[in-house]
């Protein structure tokens, strides 16, 4: 079958679509992949979509990989395909579709709402043979305006059986004003990103997360699977894929392992990975960990193997918010201890420690926000922080709560915002305390060497009298100041 995969994410890493493309190629299908990989502007003009016409002329199936922040873009390209290629099925998959198929079925003929590793091939086999493709498990379909939602299969466990991500540039394209055949230079530029602004090879070596945070996509899988199914690739499989991609494309400067928590693995497995990675791969790499799983005896072998970046979610300095809002079973004290334990590695081993925080949360009080401010204020200047804006992802418990409380609109009208974007406006917490966090983030980023001298002034700004005065600021002014502080 001749298939086109359209990935609407603003990033070109797009591991999910690369995996599906590899599965389809292994099964003998012809597939072209188009990346709509630009951050802004979000909208594409019709004349840009017209560039797809040569690829669409003989296509029999269109797959769209959808991320929530780019759902509007997925709607646009789906409408164009329906208008220009009547009768060609448009199927959505990806994070936006997990467990909430109704989101995509307003615009697509079908949606893969769970893991697509087995569903996509089953669906295509049924479609080609004239079988009942609308009964494919893990998928839902729009049948004359009615939604047919099929059973969700259990978690896929045999990860080692999956093919390597598809980095074959033949048949891959970038759509930005014009349809450009993918080149090494385009890919290298598209994969150069934060925090080093160098081309990064993103990979995922596990599925699942030990946590059940109410704001996260993983909570959707937990609800579907009735358990927190954590599955991992074997070390030989991980190393084999990295070597294959790096030998195919020598454009990468770093490897980023995108697992939710790399330290869910046992110590012996991490030690095996460290030995083989250092010997057979050798590039600097980064991982994500949590305070609950952090152990020095897991960290140190990885440092010897080239670990240069550790990302850890703090989210908030308020234990109340962690417990009652985020359902994140990690104590603030354990997070502080993990940060302190990693501190010596920053200077001694050149480690970059990157901490994540979430702001603009309507369920936080001013006192909650100040606790986050105090947490950040006490951090050593060499630690880098990310400040993200809370995004309500449909299907998550926090979205359902916000919907019930009237904080967000219904799914049909919701405008999905980016959780990290330059110039993003405050939406829920246009207040003085949130501005303090944004100011502190800006000072730590731009005046790292002077931040120690600025701490007394920051403590004054968070004092009771200053907060009382700050509460008089109009929300419109807070919103404008928030944009300026990004």
Phi-psi region of 147 (alpha: psi -120 to 50; beta: other; left: phi over 0): beta
Angle, vertex CA 33, rays to CA 28 and CA 37, nearest 5: 160
Residue range 221-274, pLDDT digits in tens? 988 898 888 999 999 999 999 999 999 999 999 999 999 999 999 999 999 999
Rounded to two decimals, the pTM is 0.93
Give the confidence band of 420 by pLDDT, cuts at 50, 70, 90. low
Q: Of all residues in the chain, what percent carry a pLDDT higher than 90?
A: 81
Strands ordered across the beta sheet of 110-112: 146-149, 139-143, 110-112, 90-93, 61-65, 2-7, 30-35, 172-176, 178-181
Residue range 288-344, pLDDT digits in tens? 999 999 999 999 999 999 999 999 999 999 999 999 999 999 999 999 999 999 999
Set out the domains of the chain in order of their start, with CATH numbers.
Answer: 2-160 (3.40.50.280), 191-484 (3.80.30.20)
Q: Which residue has the tokens 């150069």?
A: 192
By CB atoms closer than 10 A (0-12, 13-18, 19+), residue 254 is buried
Whole-angstrom distance, CA of residue 353 vs CA of residue 377:
16
Q: Beta-carbon neighbour count of residue 236 at 10 Å? A: 12
Who's near 390: CB < 8 A, 6+ residues apart? 215, 358, 359, 360, 361, 362, 419, 428
């Amino acid at each position: 079958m001749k298939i086109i995969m359209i990935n609407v994410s603003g990033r070109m890493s797009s591991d999910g679509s690369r995996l599906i493309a590899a599965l389809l190629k292994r099964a003998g299908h012809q597939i072209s992949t188009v990346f709509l990989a630009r951050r802004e502007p979000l909208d594409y003009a019709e004349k840009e979509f017209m560039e797809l016409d040569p690829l669409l002329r003989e296509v029999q199936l269109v797959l769209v990989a959808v991320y929530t922040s780019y759902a509007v873009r997925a709607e646009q390209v789906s409408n164009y395909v329906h208008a220009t290629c009547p009768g060609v099925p448009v199927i959505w998959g990806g994070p936006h579709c997990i467990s909430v198929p109704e989101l995509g079925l307003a615009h697509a003929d079908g949606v893969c709402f769970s893991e697509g590793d087995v569903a996509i091939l089953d669906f295509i086999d049924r479609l080609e043979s004239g079988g009942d493709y609308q009964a494919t498990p893990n998928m839902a379909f729009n049948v004359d305006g009615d939604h047919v939602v099929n059973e969700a299969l259990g978690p896929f466990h045999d990860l080692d059986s999956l093919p390597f991500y598809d980095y074959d540039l033949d048949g891959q394209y970038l759509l930005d004003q014009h349809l450009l055949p993918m080149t090494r230079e385009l890919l290298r530029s598209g994969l150069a990103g934060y925090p080093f602004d160098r081309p990064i090879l993103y990979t995922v070596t596990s599925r699942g997360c030990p946590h059940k945070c109410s704001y996260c996509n993983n909570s959707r899988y937990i609800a579907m699977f009735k358990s927190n199914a954590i599955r991992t690739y074997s070390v030989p499989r991980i190393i084999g894929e990295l070597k294959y991609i790096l030998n195919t494309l020598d454009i990468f400067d770093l490897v980023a392992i995108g697992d939710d928590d790399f330290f869910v693995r046992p110590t012996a497995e991490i030690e095996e990975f460290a030995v083989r990675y250092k010997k057979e791969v050798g590039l600097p790499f980064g991982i994500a960990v949590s305070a609950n799983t952090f152990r020095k005896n897991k960290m140190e072998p990885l440092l010897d193997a080239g670990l240069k970046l550790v990302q850890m979610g703090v989210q908030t300095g308020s234990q109340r918010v962690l417990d009652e809002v985020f359902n994140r079973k990690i104590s603030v004290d354990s997070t502080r201890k993990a940060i302190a334990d990693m501190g010596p590695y920053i200077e001694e081993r050149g480690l970059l420690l990157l901490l994540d925080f979430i702001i603009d949360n309507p369920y936080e009080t001013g006192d909650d926000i100040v606790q986050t401010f105090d947490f950040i204020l006490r951090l050593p200047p060499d630690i880098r922080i990310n400040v993200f804006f809370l995004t309500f992802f449909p299907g998550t418990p926090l979205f359902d709560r916000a919907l019930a409380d009237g904080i967000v609109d219904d799914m049909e009208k919701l405008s999905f915002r980016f959780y990290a974007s330059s110039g993003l406006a405050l939406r829920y917490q246009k207040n003085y305390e949130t501005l303090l966090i944004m100011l502190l983030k800006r000072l730590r980023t731009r005046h790292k060497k002077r931040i120690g001298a600025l701490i007394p002034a920051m403590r004054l700004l968070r004092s009771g009298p200053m907060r009382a005065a700050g509460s008089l600021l109009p929300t419109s002014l807070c919103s404008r100041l928030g944009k300026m502080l990004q």
